[in-house]
Amino acid sequence: MAKRGDTLLLGTRKGLFLFDRKGGDWRLAGVSFLGIPISYAMIDQRTGVLWAGQDHGHWGAKLSRSRDRGKTWEEVPAPKYPEGEVIKNSMMSVDPKAPEKPATLRYIWCISPGGNDEPNRLYIGTEPGGLFVSEDGGDAWTLNRPLWDHPSRLAGQWFGGGRDHAGIHSIIVDPHDSRRILVGVSCAGTFETTDGGKSWTVRNNGLKSSFLPEPNPEVGHDPHLVVMCPGNTKHLWQQNHCGIWKSDDDGRSWVQVSEKDGPANFGFAVAVDENDPKQAWVAPAVSDECRVAVNGALCLSRTTDGGRTWRALREGLPQEQCYDVVFRHCLDKAGEALAFGTTTGNVYYSNDCGDHWKCLGNHFPLVYSLRFA
Amino acid sequence: MARVAFTRHLHRFFPALAQTPIVQVDAANVAELIRQLDARYPGLAGYLCDEGGSLRRHVNVFVNATPIRDRQGLTDALDEASTVHIMQALSGG
């Protein structure tokens, strides 16, 4: 199988684009689902299977897999919420007393492989908040009930942020222990299991959410994306709605490390180095109220000291009249390679950890998902 | 038998529909119609309805040129003379 970082997948509003590495650059190798929004796409490194979640405007969320890098596709049954399940109203609902809506699959937000020791296991994070598990390579999916029935969700403490309803956008399987999984839910926060999903613990301690009447609830925070340093799994980062946070103790506590006098604060995406937990990259936007590039100039920001200091990376990126924003799944890293895609269809890549950037294209559709494989 | 016509937007996912512009189905109501169509074109029900069986938000079903009344239970009745159109909203962008 190709080395991770030799393939780039772009899931966009108008289809899936697959690129192969060609020296220091990229070559288009395939286009799939042209005209169809792709919510998330990834290649399972364990099996080489390519997965794509589609967000048909009319026909609902669909799931497909390819065993030949996108030449042919097989639609598999998408996760289904069990009959009778409902989306709980919350304090943030338009009408908390309205009848609860039936829970049905609205969006496939992320797809994640299980551990290397369980090659047939996969996970899907969805709106309205269900985590689905497959034990057979994706032929069938089952709702993880312990998370769905978490007391906080049943009490109406989950709500929509980024989507109409709560959704799971981050699924992290500890590479050293496949029973340890963290999920990020907008809005609820981060949850951890250490028993393969049988029970879940809230991991939001230390977060402050200024958009809530009470900023320190146990549940109700909005991590935009949560990532783990694969080589040092005690260390986590999250780009939160209210800044950048890190944890050095398995998520048991979070510390804010947003840049005080610089652009690294609000955003959606975050990437962490594979081995050095102090190195992370974010894609700044002005603020919650104004989601565009800071000062009309596109940059990523990098820290090499755990967030104490940040450096804006601008070489090769447009510095005038630029209003791009990078969605949460649209920044990825593989070795010294970085790449990101924006809401205005621009895609940039770097071969030196972001010191210099090249443009892959300016005319892509809106980018929802950018993953190395 | 009710006569069913489909939006050509579905042909991409169900190429067999392109071969048969009008499908004849014997069904007492729209829910039964969709069940029978799904048996004939596996997976079609999931494109028209969510897993709870409700018509998807941007899908329209017309019986004799009138939008169906019951988008949740699909209980609108059909008879031998019914003409059914399965369409999608003109959204995109």
- Please indicate, yes or no, if residue A195 is contained in any of the structural domains: yes
pLDDT confidence band for A98 (50 / 70 / 90): confident
- Contact, A43 vs A112, CB < 8 A? no
The two tokens of residue A110 are: 């992320």
CB atoms within 10 A of CB A103: 26
- Please indicate, yes or no, if residue A319 is contained in any of the structural domains: yes
Query: What CATH number is attached to the domain comprising A133?
Result: 2.130.10.10
Number of domains present in the structure of chain B: 1
Q: What is the pLDDT of residue A356?
A: 98
Write out pLDDT tens, residues A312-326. Answer: 999 999 999 999 999
Beta-carbon contacts of residue B29 (< 8 Å; ≥ 6 apart): B74, B75, B76, B77, B78
Q: What is the pLDDT of residue A323?
A: 97
- Please indicate, yes or no, if residue A13 is contained in any of the structural domains: no
Q: What is the pLDDT of residue A214?
A: 84
Q: Cβ separation of B56 and A102 shorter than 8 Å?
A: no
Smallest CA–CA distance from A79 into chain B, residue? B51
Residue-number span of the structural domain to which B66 is assigned: 2-88
Q: Cβ separation of B89 and A80 shorter than 8 Å?
A: no
Q: What is the pLDDT of residue A337?
A: 97
- Please indicate, yes or no, if residue A124 is contained in any of the structural domains: yes
- Please indicate, yes or no, if residue A240 is contained in any of the structural domains: yes
A109-147 as b/e: b if 16+ CB within 10 A: bbbbbbbeeeeebbbbbbbbbbbbbbeebbeebebbeeb
pLDDT confidence band for A213 (50 / 70 / 90): confident
Helix (H, G, I), strand (E, B) or coil at A114: coil
CA A105, CA A127: separation in Å to the nearest integer?
Answer: 6
Smallest CA–CA distance from B43 into chain A, residue? A77
* A105 touches B at CB < 8 Å: yes
Query: What CATH number is attached to the domain comprising B62?
Result: 3.10.20.30
% of chain A with per-residue pLDDT over 70: 99
CA B56, CA A89: separation in Å to the nearest integer?
Answer: 21
Q: Residue A29 class from Cβ within 10 Å (0-12 exposed, 13-18 middle, 19+ buried)?
A: middle
**ipTM rounded to 2 decimals:** 0.83
- Please indicate, yes or no, if residue B93 is contained in any of the structural domains: no
Q: What is the pLDDT of residue B91?
A: 66
Span A233-252, mean pLDDT?
98
Number of domains present in the structure of chain A: 1
- Please indicate, yes or no, if residue B62 is contained in any of the structural domains: yes
118-177 of A, contacting B, C-beta below 8 A: none
DSSP letter at A77? P
Span A190-209, mean pLDDT?
97
Q: Cβ separation of A105 and B92 shorter than 8 Å?
A: no
pLDDT confidence band for A94 (50 / 70 / 90): confident
Residue-number span of the structural domain to which A267 is assigned: 62-364
- Please indicate, yes or no, if residue B22 is contained in any of the structural domains: yes
pLDDT at B92 over 70: no
CA A265, CA B85: separation in Å to the nearest integer?
Answer: 51
Q: What is the pLDDT of residue A343?
A: 97
DSSP letter at A147? H
- Please indicate, yes or no, if residue A179 is contained in any of the structural domains: yes
Q: Cβ separation of A58 and B56 shorter than 8 Å?
A: yes
